[in-house]
Amino acid sequence: MLVDSHCHLNFEQLSSELDAVVARAREAGVGHMLTIGTKLREFSGVRAIAERYDEIHCSVGVHPHEAESEAADVTAAKLIELSQHPKVVGIGETGLDYFYEHAPRTLQEKSFRVHIAAARETGLPLIVHTRDADADTVKILHEEYEKGPFTGVIHCFSSGWEVAEKSMEIGFYISISGIVTFKPADDLRAHVRNIPVERLLVETDSPYLAPVPKRGKTNEPSFVAHTAAKVAELKGLDPEALAAITTDNFFNLFNKIERKI
């Protein structure tokens, strides 16, 4: 069985046919999905999806793009409160995005540190988004870790090696998306070869980043099988072995979930 460790099932491209999306995931051997919170004002919808299906859990958080629009609402206390729901198993996604900079960097950093405080307090994994912000991401993670440990994952990893290396130093996992199948992604494939398999997760980040051979289509959790196959090839493993390892890794990290697969 496979796990899609990061998807956005509340986004309209998927929510409009959610039963079919979930059915196709089951047929593809995807036994669990984690749907991700990006806005507190939309969190109730994310949580409702997780409540509706046994094999779906969710996270609560504010994407760095929303750090300005939700600045007044995102507090550690609020995240901790919302995380008490049994279906909420992670904090985020949060982090830094200097590629688009939809929010000022100062507000992104403030939000990031608030999420880290909530992750530390709850013991739930932190789900980190980082794009064109390698140095600051590493700096903040290590500064905060010195205040007290927390666990987490670098989601949709496509950064430089330092982000992987320095985050693994504090016990983080690295999640690989369909980008690893893209023709220009030679650097990422080299990094995947070097990441210990016991630190790897796989994801879709659907509805975005559909892997080869599904490029141009709306991504969905069933497509994680194509990403996993590429990662297995890079690691010199049978797809079944890679699926078993990454599934174990997922449940080791998101250990609030009662494992049924």
What are the domain boundaries of the chain? 2-253
The residues, ordered by sequence, that sit 6+ positions from 257 with a Cβ below 8 Å of its Cβ are: 32, 57, 89, 251
Q: How far apart are CA 6 and CA 204, in angstroms?
A: 6
What are 184-224's pLDDT values in tens digits? 999 999 999 999 999 999 999 999 999 999 999 999 999 99
- Give the chain's mean pLDDT: 98
Of all residues in the chain, the percent with pLDDT exceeding 70 is 100
What band does 156 get if pLDDT is binned at 50, 70 and 90?
Answer: very high
- 0.85 surpassed by pTM: yes
The residues, ordered by sequence, that sit 6+ positions from 150 with a Cβ below 8 Å of its Cβ are: 116, 119, 120, 123, 126, 144
Report the pLDDT averaged over residues 235-254.
98
What band does 261 get if pLDDT is binned at 50, 70 and 90?
Answer: confident
* pLDDT (0 to 100) of residue 83: 98
Neighbours of 205 (CB within 10 A): 24
Judge whether 37 and 61 are in contact, CB under 8 Å: yes
Annotated binding site for a divalent metal cation: 6, 8, 93, 129, 155, 205
The CATH class, in words, for 2-253 is: alpha beta
